[in-house]
Amino acid sequence: MTWKYAKCLVTGGASFIGSHLVESLLEKGVQVRVADDLSSGKLANLSSVLSEIEFMKGDLKHIDVAHAATRGVDAVFHLAANHGGRGYIATHPADCAGNMALDNIVFGCAAKNDVEHIIFASSACVYPTDIQAEKRLLVEDMVDFSRRGGAFADEAYGWAKLMGELSLQAYHRQYGLKAAAARISTAYGPRENESHALMALIAKVFVRQSPFEIWGDGEQTRGFTYVQDVVDGLVLAAEHIEDGTAVNVGTDEFIRLNRVAGEIFTAMNWRPPAEILYRADKPLGVRHRALDGTFARRTTGWVPQVSLTEGIRRTVAWYMAHHDAADVAARLDNLLMERRYFPESG
Ligand SMILES: NC(=O)c1ccc[n+]([C@@H]2O[C@H](COP(=O)([O-])OP(=O)(O)OC[C@H]3O[C@@H](n4cnc5c(N)ncnc54)[C@H](O)[C@@H]3O)[C@@H](O)[C@H]2O)c1
Model pLDDT, residue 82: 95
78 alpha carbon to ligand 1 midpoint, in Å? 9
Higher per-residue confidence, 194 vs 108: 108
Model pLDDT, residue 346: 32
- Cα separations in angstroms, 332 against 19, 110, 195, 219, 338: 24, 39, 10, 23, 10
Q: Residue 341 — pLDDT band, cuts 50, 70, 90?
A: low
The fold adopted by the segment(s) 7-187+224-249 is Rossmann fold (3.40.50)
pTM of the model: 0.96
Which residues have a Cβ under 8 Å from the Cβ of 246 and sit 6 or more positions away?
122, 126, 140, 143, 165, 180, 181, 182, 183
Higher per-residue confidence, 274 vs 164: 164
pLDDT digits (tens, 9 = 90+) for 216-261: 999 999 999 999 999 999 999 999 999 999 999 999 999 999 999 9
Ligand 1 is surrounded, with C-beta below 6 A, by 12, 14-18, 36-41, 59-61, 79-83, 102, 121, 123, 184, 186-187, 339
What single letter denotes the amino acid at residue 265?
F
CATH entry 3.90.25.10 includes domain 190-222+254-289+307-337: yes
Which residues have a Cβ under 8 Å from the Cβ of 184 and sit 6 or more positions away?
17, 121, 122, 123, 124, 225, 230, 233, 249, 250
Q: Residue 1 — pLDDT band, cuts 50, 70, 90?
A: low
Is the fold of 7-187+224-249 the same as that of 190-222+254-289+307-337?
no
14 alpha carbon to ligand 1 midpoint, in Å? 9
Q: Where are the domains of the chain?
A: 7-187+224-249, 190-222+254-289+307-337
For residue 102, the ligand 1 atom closest to its alpha carbon is 31
For residue 16, the ligand 1 atom closest to its alpha carbon is 16
For residue 122, the ligand 1 atom closest to its alpha carbon is 7
Average of pLDDT values for 56-78? Answer: 98
pLDDT digits (tens, 9 = 90+) for 173-191: 999 999 999 999 999 999 9
